[in-house]
Amino acid sequence: MDHVDQSAWADALVSEIRRVGAELGPRALSSIFFGGGTPSLMPAATVAGVIDAATDVFSASNTLEVTLEANPSSVEADRFQGYRTAGVNRVSLGVQALNDPDLRALGRLHSVAEARTAIDVAQSTFDRVSFDLIYARQHQTLADWDTELTEALNIGNAHLSLYQQTIEPGTAFSAHHAHGGLGGLPGENLSADMYDLTQTICEAAGMPAYEISNHARPGAECVHNQIYWQSGDYAGVGPGAHGRLTMGGQRLATEAVHDPVTWLQGVAAGGAVTREVISEVAQLEEAVMMGLRMTQGIDFNRVNKSLARVDQLCEGGWLEMSGGRLTVTPAGRPVLNEILRQLLA
């Protein structure tokens, strides 16, 4: 990071925040999220500058959540203390596994010892700490996941993100899998058993799922991610950042230039972001796809005209209607993608 002009980056980020603020006018600010790449390598002064600009331009809530994502291998106690002083009050750690061979198989650069140290440093510095784990990994048994998840819960965080490993098309893992790699991945039945075990263990520990892959004690849910899932507005600032903004009666999808150098040049020239109007149909589809991930579901009156097979899916025990809200049942959650496919047909 020594070759990076930190002052130029700080100035550009602040400039973009002020540009967005001037366009949007008065808005309430409930969350700031430093994510993507390695924000835990960002100087505390830059973090402070971003927070100061955002809270100056927008009206910050008394419960403003300021999250910073961190890789366990880049955690330093002094750096974390600097982030806390800057205004960060929540940290999310990309742990992914509590098993060294599996961390290597996932391509992670940190060890379990480094992850545990990072968690300890975070817990001693911030009031709110979360970390993520991936399950249904190669050669992982149900007993393995039981042990690992129990260990994770005993660490004492109030929030965990627990993702089932999937092979996404177009990724390096997908190419490796297509050429015969990634042997030993659990089959559908074992993956389903792992999902069910996750719900059982977390609920018993007082950390039920509030979203498909996220578990928290009451009151510790991630404010920022709920903005995504509830189709709220968020401004994306920085190279490659995406946003959703409501302006002039339209819902806009924004995307910043990906290349960092080009982004910096674009900010200096007054434009580093493209915009696309989201159609009403696309808005409804997005609201359904995101909203049904949450335990609280969606307002059915908002989307009912765009959905198919609701009655059949309710009769089959996959969906449930209560108090005007449509939710996915526990039986439906593991097959949410198929439910969405039928709803949006």
Model confidence over 195-217: pLDDT tens digits?
999 999 999 999 999 999 999 99
Q: pLDDT tier at 4 (50, 70, 90 boundaries)?
A: confident
The last residue of a domain, from among 198, 228, 258 = 228
Alpha-helix residue ranges (DSSP H) falling in the chain: 6-24, 44-57, 77-86, 100-105, 112-125, 142-154, 172-178, 188-204, 223-229, 260-269, 280-291, 300-303, 310-315, 336-343
In a domain, 260, yes or no: no
In a domain, 10, yes or no: no
Query: Do the Cβ atoms of 231 and 286 come closer than 8 Å?
Result: yes
Q: Percent of the chain having pLDDT more than 70?
A: 94
pLDDT at 287: 94
Domain that holds residue 316: 292-345
Q: What is the pTM of this model?
A: 0.91
Say if residue 200 is in the same domain as residue 65.
yes
Say if residue 38 is in the same domain as residue 128.
yes
Higher-confidence residue of 68 and 41: namely: 68
In a domain, 283, yes or no: no
Say if residue 65 is in the same domain as residue 144.
yes
pLDDT at 177: 44
Q: pLDDT tier at 305 (50, 70, 90 boundaries)?
A: confident
In a domain, 19, yes or no: no
pLDDT at 342: 94
Say if residue 224 is in the same domain as residue 304.
no
In a domain, 302, yes or no: yes
pLDDT at 298: 95
Say if residue 127 is in the same domain as residue 222.
yes
In a domain, 53, yes or no: yes
Say if residue 100 is in the same domain as residue 220.
yes
Say if residue 309 is in the same domain as residue 219.
no
Average pLDDT, the chain: 91
pLDDT at 171: 45
Q: What is the pLDDT of residues 149-194, one digit of tens each?
A: 999 999 999 999 999 987 555 544 444 444 445 566 888 899 999 9
String of DSSP letters for 185-203: ---HHHHHHHHHHHHHHHH
The last residue of a domain, from among 194, 228, 262 = 228
Lowest mean pLDDT of 48-57, 179-188, 293-302, name the range: 179-188
pLDDT at 78: 85
Say if residue 224 is in the same domain as residue 297.
no
The last residue of a domain, from among 211, 228, 245 = 228
- CA dihedral angle for residue 286, residue 288, residue 292, residue 294, rounded to 10 degrees: 50
In the chain, the number of structural domains is 2
Say if residue 33 is in the same domain as residue 127.
yes
Say if residue 41 is in the same domain as residue 138.
yes
pLDDT at 101: 93
pLDDT at 314: 96
Q: What is the pLDDT of residues 90-138, one digit of tens each?
A: 999 999 999 999 999 998 989 999 999 999 999 999 999 999 999 999 9
In a domain, 124, yes or no: yes
Closest CA to 201 of 244, 162, 165, 166: 162
In a domain, 15, yes or no: no
Say if residue 309 is in the same domain as residue 208.
no
Say if residue 88 is in the same domain as residue 200.
yes
Q: Is the Cα dihedral 98, 103, 106, 110 positive or negative?
A: positive
CATH number at residue 204: 3.30.750.200
